[in-house]
Amino acid sequence: CKTIGVLTSGGDAPGMNAAVRAVVRTATAKGMEVKGIRRGYAGLLDEDIVDMPPVSVSDIIHRGGTILYTARCREMFQPEVQDHAAEICRKHGIEGLVIIGGDGSFRGAGALAERGINTIGVPGTIDLDIACTDYTIGFDTAINTAMEAIDKIRDTSTSHERVSIVEVMGRQAGYIAMWCAIANGAEDMLLPEMYDHDEQALIDRIIEKRRKGKKHHIIINAEGIGHSVSMAARIEAATGIETRATILGHMQRGGTPTCKDRVYASIMGAKAVELLQEGKSKRIVAYRGGAFVDYDIQEALHMQKSLPEDYIRISKSLIR
Ligand code: F6P
């Protein structure tokens, strides 16, 4: 490819800027030109396209968010819109495209590849819910941000001898909740993948722990379960213990990316350009079994993953 494009799509994630920087720097070092497409596929359809020389990505590796802006673009699921998007790429001389985002964004990437644009996906989401990879850009920063917030909630929860429900993001996946439950030493974790809706059992556990002398009871609730505020009211009514709900929300998506997110995002961005240079298309860069690899997009979209059983078993055994 002589000219490639790069876009970020779907929910933003800390480390996306490091990936964009790596795409630009790797491609320009190989003599390619890079066009930045702003606001994801929506910006592609609006032809919101800017030149990205190496200097355009200076001073961004440490910043949260994405300098390219992002959007969720449902139109891009329609075949005629995909035809139009491929035409726009051709009009701007974009032969290859790096798409940093989640599964929805990769569907668009697959469609563009079928229309002659070489596409490579890079997994970017705080949710870790992309089956082909053990790592997604932003997850590490998000869990550290949530962990620090939950530590603070624990201080006040203990002082007031309360029950605290903390709702973390993750869409239908419980990865953020599971990691925080272990890292914060939570008394309970409610994960969408294995929630039994047995609120009475939860209430019994709270009463039992209080009897044993626990001063606080932190429940990490995944947003895929949700309803934290009404759950808190029911727990307070049933136990007589003051109960508060905190929904951490979008703070989990912002902030300075961790070292891991900067480094892995940089490697993935660079790998995406290397794949384009090799003439590859319709691939997703992934991290699996300790190595950076790549998969066919359709194959990757059909993969499934589940929460690691040993994490679940051990985290439960640590609650006393
Ligand atoms: O996919 C990232 C994520 O933050 C999810 O955890 C959450 O469900 C969703 O995006 C929120 O989306 P929005 O920013 O559009 O409200």
pLDDT (0 to 100) of residue 185 = 96
pLDDT of residue 145 exceeding 80, the answer is yes
Question: Is the reported ipTM for this assembly greater than 0.90?
Answer: yes
Residue 126 CB–ligand 1 contact under 6 Å = yes
**Is the Cβ–Cβ distance between 17 and 67 less than 8 Å?**
yes
pLDDT (0 to 100) of residue 298 = 97
* Nearest-CA residue for atom 11 of ligand 1: 11
Residue 170 CB–ligand 1 contact under 6 Å = yes
pLDDT tens digits for range 212-256: 999 899 999 999 999 999 999 999 999 999 999 999 999 999 999
Pairing of strands 243-247, 163-168: parallel
pTM given for the model: 0.97
CA of 200 to the centre of ligand 1 (A): 30
Q: Which residues are catalytic?
A: 127
pLDDT (0 to 100) of residue 320 = 73
pLDDT tens digits for range 153-210: 999 999 999 999 999 999 999 999 999 999 999 999 999 999 999 999 999 999 999 9
Residues with Cβ within 8 Å of residue 17, at least 6 apart in sequence: 57, 60, 61, 63, 64, 65, 66, 67, 257
Q: How far is CA 283 from CA 127, 168, 203, 296, in A?
A: 21, 31, 47, 4
pLDDT tens digits for range 260-299: 999 999 999 999 999 999 999 999 999 999 999 999 999 9
Residue 139 CB–ligand 1 contact under 6 Å = no
217-227 burial, b at 16+ Cβ within 10 Å, e below that, comes to bbbbbbbbbee
- Kindly report the average pLDDT of the chain as a whole number: 97
pLDDT of residue 316 exceeding 90, the answer is no
Q: Which atom of ligand 1 is nearest to the CA of 10?
A: 1
How far apart, in Å, do the first and last CA atoms of the chain sit?
58
Q: What does the chain come to in residues?
A: 320
